[in-house]
Amino acid sequence: MAEIIQEEKGGGKKKAKKLLPHMDMTPMVDLMMLLITFFMLTTSLSKAKVMEITLPDKITDPNQEAPKISASRTLNIILGPDNKLYWYPGAVKPEDFNNLPPLMETDYGADGVRKLLLERNRTLAKKIDDFKNDVITGKIKIPQDSVASTIRQFGRIDDTGPIVLVKAYKNANYGNFVDILDEMNITGIARYTFMKIAWYEETMVETAAGITSTAQASAN
Amino acid sequence: MPKIKLPTKSPHIDMTPMVDTFAVILIFLLLTSQMRSPEPANVDTPFSISEKPTPDFNMMTFLLSPDGKVFMNFDNGPDTAFKFRPKILSEMGIRYGIEFTENQLREFEKFPSSIGVPILQMKEFLDSQDAEDRKTFQTGIPMDSTDNQLSFWILYARQVNPNIQACIKGDSKTTFETVEKVLDILQEKNVKRFNLITNLETATINLEEIQQ
């Protein structure tokens, strides 16, 4: 609290003393605190980020065929129910529905699908990683905004990495979908797309997850 | 030596530096943050490593709630000056034979968050003043094959603003069926590039481990 300190000088005549004007700041501090708390609670500091994806054209013409891709490079990843993740290499034809290959199970962690993808995408991932290191250490001088386009260029000329087809079983959730697309970006997969799940693949998931189709039908 | 006696007075702290600090923090917060508008559904976005910031304008956001409802939001940002929102709504009105008054269009423009109201209830929704009342109208945009209002919203949003970008904001727990429906409708309307709104996280890859 502001107070006037009175001093007696020499005991003689009293003199009006020159005092520094002194203001009490406490209420102001209170007010400021209140405002800061209010702004902290009602605003969001960090801006949300976005992840870009591009879907292929929808095939509307029944005579048009889906683009052919080589089965040896194909890797199918299926998002299963209950946060499970399945994969199989190559392609399955609807004709061999009696003899469907088993699905391999993996998980969303660093030792699961990330390792799986990195093993297959080793050359490209190594190239991108080396390039990024060179940029950081200054061996390659390149403007910051063309780094991403250079990496994309690596992907375009790469012909060893897998072609990943992501498919989702109906019980999967959106978090799984974002996670798997994120893994593609982390491991630098150049070619991936999202597709509708085929009926025989649904059967494969149901076998692997132990859901019987009849149970599924009665649940619906 | 006589003892020096300090005069007793009430302790007094100078608050000026504290006020200065607070003022700096306050100004910093005012400049860097933006108001969080309340959304009709609580959504926890999933995480990704993407560092691209959300666009500030020219976007339509699809909010997918965990219980499968879809809400839409248009041009939240400086481009509100172009009045895209009322234009989109009046186009929708013409399609469904509903005429919106000047007042209702203004209400629609001012509405701060995403909207998920079936078009037939839109008039009542815009007329009601009570926030709680309005909440009951937010039942999600119908998007089944018999009454696909979502696809018309997308159509008119793109007609009114050709530069509009699609952003999808979903909860991690939203079922994929909902997401797939929205993606399907977007694909039908020839929207092939989307932005998925996520939170930032970091991820590391261990290349040595897989060098074998």
**Mean pLDDT, contiguous 10-residue spans, chain A (220 residues):** 52 61 81 88 75 75 67 82 82 73 79 80 79 81 78 76 83 84 82 81 79 51
Taking only the tens place, the pLDDT of each residue in A100-144 is 777 788 888 777 888 888 887 777 777 888 888 888 887 777 777
Query: What percent of chain A shows pLDDT beyond 70?
Result: 81
Q: Which member of B16, B183, B211 has the closest CB to residue A55? A: B183
Selected residues 13-32 of chain B with any CB under 8 Å from a CB in chain A: 14-16, 18-19, 22-23, 25-26, 29-30, 32
Under the banding of pLDDT at 50, 70 and 90, the label for residue B207 is low
Q: Is 80 exceeded by the pLDDT of residue B1?
A: no
Interface test with B, best of A30, A35, A38, A49 (most B CBs within 10 A): A49
B6 touches chain A (CB under 8 A): no
Phi, psi of A129 (to 5 degrees): -65, -45
Selected residues 35-54 of chain B with any CB under 8 Å from a CB in chain A: 35-36, 45-54
Size of interface A-B (CB pairs under 8 A): 184
Report how far residue B206's alpha carbon sits from residue B212's, in angstroms, rounded to the nearest whole number: 12
CB contact under 8 A, A187 and B205: yes
Confidence (pLDDT) at A17 = 65
Q: DSSP letters of A56-113?
A: PPP--STTPPPPP--GGGEEEEEE-STT-EEEEES---GGGGGGPPPPEEE-SSTTTH
Q: Is 70 exceeded by the pLDDT of residue B37?
A: no
CB contact under 8 A, A48 and B172: no
Q: What is the mean pLDDT of residues B49-67?
A: 82
CB contact under 8 A, B54 and A50: yes
**Cβ atoms of residues B50 and A50 within 8 Å:** yes
Confidence (pLDDT) at A41 = 82
Q: Helix, strand, or coil here: B66?
A: coil
Q: Is 70 exceeded by the pLDDT of residue B81?
A: no
Confidence (pLDDT) at B174 = 85
* pLDDT: which is higher, B32 or B1: B32
Confidence (pLDDT) at A219 = 45
Confidence (pLDDT) at B24 = 92
Confidence (pLDDT) at B141 = 85
Q: pTM score, two decimals?
A: 0.73
Q: What is the mean pLDDT of residues B169-184?
A: 85
